[in-house]
Amino acid sequence: MENKAHKEKVCQEHDCAEQWQELTSEARDQCASFIYCPFCANEMITRCSACGEGIHDTGFNFCPYCGSGFEE
């Protein structure tokens, strides 16, 4: 059975994690287009939800690190 994952935009700054968790899932979805974190102004990255590795080409259909297929 194929693993399914999704691409998620996240801040790499550990101190922001708690603030991001306090947001509703709807608010986090709206933040998906952000380039910079609204809490620390660091550049956001796209990562695989299954393994947590950064994905540099957002056009990938599968994670190059864990092989999970991305949901559309």
pLDDT tens digit at each of 72 positions of the chain: 466 898 888 888 888 888 988 988 888 888 888 999 999 999 999 999 999 999 988 889 999 999 999 987
Q: What is the per-residue burial (b if ≥16 Cβ within 10 Å, else e) of 44-55?
A: beebbebeeeeb
The values of phi and psi at residue 66, to 5°, are -120, -10
Count of Cβ atoms closer than 10 Å to residue 70 Cβ: 18
Return the pLDDT at 17: 85
pTM: 0.71
Return the pLDDT at 2: 60
CA 25 to chain centre: 13
